[in-house]
Structure 1
């Protein structure tokens, strides 16, 4: 384009420089400015320059490159007409060069827009692929977690069934055998026979103790505290805003688990029957020396009989049997606070 300027401008040595710098300045300004209105004004100013001084058409292809990238069809048509009109003052060979440059600028702009669109499409496809991979990984994790939970639940049910069968069948048979041996020891006079039977009885007693401990451990493990508490609060999940935190060892003793579950169950029942709350907080945590349970709702309609009902009495009895402490208050709503000490050893 600079070569065209030098070819066409022979009278004034400074004219090509001015035309070149003006065209470059307008082109760079159009690239740097994002506002369409300002771009339109710049295009119009340059078209006016072309009409006033036809030599400015020599750098018009560069400006027209930016102009053809706009979506303003009227402005593009006006620009093309301006370029054609300005060419009237030049010879045919020069007109061909100018018009060829204008056509080339349009072709380059179209190619550039296609490249930009393809690049953006590639970015969109890549982002979509990344998002789909993330969703797929999330679904796979959920599926694995669901399968693990089902396996865990089935394992707990099977343990519970085994412990019940051992207790109902083997336990009863051993108990009957021990009682029969006790009756035999009471009537047998021979000391040697007595010693032998006492050995058998001691062995059966040891077996009974071992089975009882095994059944007790299986029963402890078969109580899924988190799942049980979630089942307790299911009836209020849709009606109230629930904030529950359960952070306790799964190997906690069964009597502790049962106590916590029954307190939560009774508290939920009281909320459904008596409370006008909108929010419920359930916090169950294990500390180094004790277990803590907090159930708090923001209800305002609190009556005196809420503190002395059969459900509250049952809570007190359960906690006292475990040497725990329960505090019930109406401080900013209805609050149940329970602490149960851990057994040493």
Structure 2
């Protein structure tokens, strides 16, 4: 507040008037020295001093020098006090602030320093009006600061909301794509197992009919052969269609689907609500990583129910360029200190270390259990 343009103008205007008053009393050298020191002290306090203690020491120095200057060099004391009055509103300690206000009032109405009782009353009125204006300005400034802080919080919240919305959109797209992959794989498998099997059986039967007709020199031999060839062509068409429907990248996410299967089976068997969030990546887990993470997921879900008494678990799976990150957060009873004495937690850490990854565990009483696992991407040599 005290660095605002208006208050700076008021401060330096009082210095200018003080200079004119002192120079009119023919004490030019002494007055110039005092004004320079006074100005330096004011500017140091204004621009460099932050703590209440340092600002208070600077004000005390001026309190000691102002009476001497006014008695020997002239000048109205009110113009010496304006800088101090403005700076009082930066003090946080109310006791020190009230003491300084009392000293200012005493100095401004002092008949000796004010050079008369009438001047003292005028000084008191001026100081009073100045305090009222500064108090009003301080309230406006505080309101502005609160509004700015509120605006900053809202802006940050909006940015976080936008970021969260983008992440959610990414997760939704990933879920849609992974669901589509699973459905395409299921359809291709169903066609292969049903239509493909039926056509294959028909071809075998027609081959047998063709052999019997050939022995009996029946005209059905040619018909059976033509029909078998036709079905064989249809069978090849079905196989091509199955290959086209079956997604090539499905195998890259078989590990994710296995972990997802563990979660859903656990939910069905125990009634614990498991919410999964999956982010699709550009690479997949290999068989070793899948096997270890499968067992780890089983262990963590089991611990959440058995030890944590949780009824809700959040599972987040995310691929980055170089890492696969999976985290588990339950709403169980938690624990104050995590001690990896049991085989379960030891096995989790051993499996992750075997994959070259890392595991982070965190828990507090009544705040559930959190596990974060990072598995590095295995690059092809």
Query: How high is the TM-score relative to the length of structure 1?
Result: 0.61
The correspondence for 1:208, drawn from 220, 224, 235, is 235
Q: Counterpart of 2:355?
A: 295
Q: Counterpart of 1:143?
A: 168
User: Contact between 1:69 and 1:109, CA under 8 Å: does it hold in 2?
Assistant: no
User: Contact between 1:178 and 1:201, CA under 8 Å: does it hold in 2?
Assistant: yes
Within the alignment, does 1:228 sit opposite 2:257 as a pair? yes
User: Contact between 1:27 and 1:66, CA under 8 Å: does it hold in 2?
Assistant: no
Q: Counterpart of 1:13?
A: 27
The correspondence for 2:246, drawn from 215, 218, 225, is 218
CA distance in 2, matches of 1:23, 1:153: 75
Within the alignment, does 1:279 sit opposite 2:349 as a pair? yes
Q: Write the mapping of 1:114-153 to structure 2, written as runs, cut at 5 A.
A: 114-153=139-178
Shift of 1:259: 8.1
Shift of 1:150: 3.4
Q: Counterpart of 1:241?
A: none
Shift of 1:47: 1.8
CA distance in 1, matches of 2:128, 2:170: 62
Q: Counterpart of 1:65?
A: 86
Q: Write the mapping of 1:178-327 to structure 2, written as runs, cut at 5 A.
A: 178-189=203-214, 194-215=221-242, 218=246, 224-228=253-257, 230-231=259-260, 249=283, 261=290, 265=294, 276-277=346-347, 279-280=349-350, 295=355
Cα distance change of structure 1 residues 170 and 120 upon mapping to structure 2, 3 Å threshold: same
* Structure of larger gyration radius: 1
User: Contact between 1:43 and 1:63, CA under 8 Å: does it hold in 2?
Assistant: yes
CA distance in 2, matches of 1:213, 1:123: 65
Q: Counterpart of 2:56?
A: 40
Q: Counterpart of 1:336?
A: none
Q: Counterpart of 1:323?
A: none
Unmatched 5+ stretches in structure 1 = 236-245, 251-255, 284-293, 299-338
Cα distance change of structure 1 residues 259 and 64 upon mapping to structure 2, 3 Å threshold: closer
Shift of 1:123: 3.3
Shift of 1:165: 3.1
Shift of 1:136: 0.9
CA distance in 1, matches of 2:185, 2:235: 18
CA distance in 1, matches of 2:17, 2:289: 91
Q: Counterpart of 2:65?
A: 49
CA distance in 1, matches of 2:113, 2:296: 94
User: Contact between 1:66 and 1:109, CA under 8 Å: does it hold in 2?
Assistant: no
Unmatched 5+ stretches in structure 2 = 1-13, 267-279, 300-341, 359-377
CA distance in 1, matches of 2:355, 2:296: 8
Shift of 1:132: 0.9
CA distance in 1, matches of 2:140, 2:160: 30
Cα distance change of structure 1 residues 97 and 18 upon mapping to structure 2, 3 Å threshold: farther
Cα distance change of structure 1 residues 159 and 33 upon mapping to structure 2, 3 Å threshold: same
Q: Counterpart of 2:44?
A: 29
SS across alignment from 1:188: helix
Shift of 1:30: 1.8
Cα distance change of structure 1 residues 267 and 195 upon mapping to structure 2, 3 Å threshold: farther
CA distance in 2, matches of 1:92, 1:86: 5
